């Protein structure tokens, strides 16, 4: 059923004829929305109660960037979940809602990447931290000692031998995430544009209604290929960023007081990266219901008469409402609500009040670098003394 022919159709107004599977969708999505709402509001409440005092104690005129990013990451799942939940009751808005979901998801993912890189501190600290990270075949898969399981082939070009990750490579990983962000939004907007154009509708012999599609089947193939490709590229970039920052901060070794836990936060953020792939997989599942149907007028011709009047003639065809074109977005939005429920819970656990203190973390990193430099100097002193004695 072409979605642009469903404007004005609200599922709640036709509950008695809605397929039973929708009761499952509505129940599961309601639970997901409730969980998302609870954990998001709890996080906002904790922030609101003590944020002002913390900023005064730290001498901040405005909220630090890392806190702004964590607040954005923690609040966006609620908006995303709300959009997906609304779509389940108004099928005609599916493509528009999917575009909004893509935008919110990309904002959250971009904030996560920025949040991770902010933890390295101000220059020249990032370069010094990366210089102390062990040599690895970074762009290879984990089986080859790398961090890039989604595009391990890049290791054949950039990680033939173990090496220390450079700032240039870290920037390239961030650009990979940015490429995913822009590509996901552009492809979602393209999908909306193609489906909002009014085109003729006809009922085929198989009982389903179809509309003429611009570019025919080539657009679906290009979109599917683009969605899968951008998912792999974005996942690759985020995995490099998360691995490099985690190792630079010595996470997991118990030596750092202010835990940033980039690895865990990046794992939770991978959900946003899988949304394009999820759309492609759901689109390949055959599903649809022949009932209920709605009458769709199809104009066959119009005649102009004297005086400027005109008359039209045509037929009315009965089109199934919940065919594949409608059911795919409904299943997608249901899974999105569940994903946002998990994401909101993870964010509540991983982003405690005020997160990590920028100044204290920076001081700790600088102190650790100074200790490492002193230790290296102590190691070189006996060698220098021996060389002088000889």
Span 2-47, pLDDT tens digits: 677 777 788 888 888 888 999 999 999 999 999 999 999 998 887 7
Structure tokens at 11: 């599922």
Domain 3-289+323-356 -> CATH class: mainly alpha
Segment 115-139 shows an average pLDDT of: 86
150, 235 Cβ separation under 8 angstroms: yes
pLDDT in tens, 212-244: 776 656 677 888 888 899 999 999 999 999 999
290 compared with 217, residue with greater pLDDT = 290
**343-377 tens-digit pLDDT:** 999 998 888 765 555 566 666 666 666 765 555 55
Q: What is the pLDDT of residue 296?
A: 81
Question: What is the pTM for the complete model shown?
Answer: 0.85
Supply the pLDDT for residue 372.
Answer: 59
The domain ranges of the chain are 3-289+323-356
pLDDT for 385: 46
Question: H or E element: which one contains 190?
Answer: helix 167-196
Q: Mind spelling out the 3-state secondary structure of 256-317?
A: CCCCCCHHHHHHHHHHHHHHHHHHHHHHCCCCCCCCCEEEEEEEEEEEECHHHCEEEEEEEE
Instruction: Give backbone dihedrals phi and psi of 108, rounded to 5 degrees, phi first.
Output: -65, -40
- Dihedral (Cα; 171, 175, 181, 187), 10-degree rounding: -170
- Does the structure show a pLDDT above 50 at 384? no
């Amino acid at each position: 059923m072409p979605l642009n022919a469903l404007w004005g159709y609200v599922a709640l107004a036709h509950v008695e004829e809605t397929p039973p599977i929708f009761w499952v969708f509505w129940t599961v999505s309601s639970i997901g929305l409730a969980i998302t709402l609870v954990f998001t509001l709890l996080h906002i409440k904790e922030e609101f109660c003590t944020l002002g005092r913390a900023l005064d104690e730290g001498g901040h005129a405005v909220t630090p960037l890392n806190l702004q990013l964590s607040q954005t990451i923690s609040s966006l799942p609620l908006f995303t979940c709300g959009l997906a939940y609304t779509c389940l009751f108004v099928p005609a808005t599916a493509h528009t809602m999917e575009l909004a979901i893509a935008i919110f998801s990309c904002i959250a993912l971009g904030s996560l990447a920025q949040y991770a890189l902010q933890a390295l501190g101000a220059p020249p600290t990032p370069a010094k931290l990366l210089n102390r990270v062990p040599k690895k075949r970074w762009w290879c898969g984990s089986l080859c000692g790398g961090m890039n399981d989604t595009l391990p082939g890049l290791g054949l070009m950039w990680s033939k031998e173990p090496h220390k990750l450079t700032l240039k490579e870290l920037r390239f990983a961030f650009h990979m995430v940015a490429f995913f962000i822009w590509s996901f939004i552009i492809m979602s907007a393209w999908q909306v544009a193609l489906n909002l154009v009014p085109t003729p509708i006809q009922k085929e012999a198989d009982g389903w209604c179809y509309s003429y599609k611009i570019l025919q089947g080539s657009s679906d193939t290009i979109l599917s290929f683009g969605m899968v490709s951008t998912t792999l590229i974005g996942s690759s970039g985020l995995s490099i960023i998360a691995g490099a920052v985690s190792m630079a901060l010595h996470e997991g070794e118990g030596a750092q007081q202010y835990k940033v836990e980039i690895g865990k936060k990046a794992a939770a953020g991978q959900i946003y990266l899988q949304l394009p792939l999820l759309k492609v997989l759901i689109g390949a599942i055959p599903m649809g219901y022949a009932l209920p149907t709605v009458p769709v007028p199809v104009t066959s011709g119009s005649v102009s008469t004297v005086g400027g009047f005109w008359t039209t003639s045509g037929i009315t065809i009965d089109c199934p409402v919940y065919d594949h074109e409608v059911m795919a977005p409904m299943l997608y939005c249901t899974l999105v609500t569940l994903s946002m429920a998990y994401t909101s819970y993870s964010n509540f656990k991983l982003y405690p009040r005020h997160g990590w203190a920028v100044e204290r973390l920076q001081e700790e990193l600088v102190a650790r670098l100074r200790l490492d430099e002193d230790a290296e100097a102590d190691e070189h002193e006996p060698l220098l003394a021996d060389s002088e004695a000889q």
